[in-house]
Structure 1
Amino acid sequence: MTKPTFEYQKPKVNNGAMRTPVEFFQYRPRKGPEPGEQEKQIIFNCFAEIYNPSMKDLEILNSKTTKQAVTLTIRDPQTGYIVSNKHYVEVMDRRYSGIRWNIVDVRNDFTDNRFITILLAVYGDE
């Protein structure tokens, strides 16, 4: 009698899990003679699945002082928007209202090409 073999299968992400609206934005230079940046310019918005960081994500954050972190998965916008760590994210959920998230890590899924996983964090010095 042979034993059944079990192979690991990746969890399936689908549109039903992507319920939380998120906005990707950057800051524009302030108008006038004063230096600095102030005005928020929204670059891209979509729905995402948000969850707590995995052990792999926590290892990436290990070298930085972070107050809070989340991981999100979005549909790959292809050429409509390229995710950059120079941009910020706002999660449109009451539990995260008013938090400006920094993009720490972007993982493209080259085998599936449908989704992008993004690690977000709020640093301790902000």
Structure 2
Amino acid sequence: MHEMSIAQSLIEIVRQELEKHGKTKLIAVHVKHGTLANVVPEAMDLAWEVLTKESDLDGSALVLEEVPLQLECCGCKHLFAPESSQFLLAPCPECGEELGHAVVSGKELYLDRLEAE
């Protein structure tokens, strides 16, 4: 479960940011994750809960937002979202090209913002 290591890294970043901005209470952490980042929201929630329990971060909310996969056709440069998660063979709805598309979004995994007091 790589969500546990993601949550551990996230906690380290959160602590640094709280200290840097002179905040003591974390209310919520907003994280954006792309479809291709393979984050399982339920596992991430559990990891966050376990790692923050009985700490100064206990009770803070983890808010996950999935960034959908978007591809750019290698032929006509049309931006599109593949119909299935099997994007390796995703025909462009404009020109029909099936291979060689560039991933424009959907690989992200980052801390978007913090809510703190």
Q: TM-score, normalised by structure 2?
A: 0.28
The higher-RCO structure (CA 8 Å, 6+ apart) is: 2
Higher strand share: 1
Higher helix share: 2
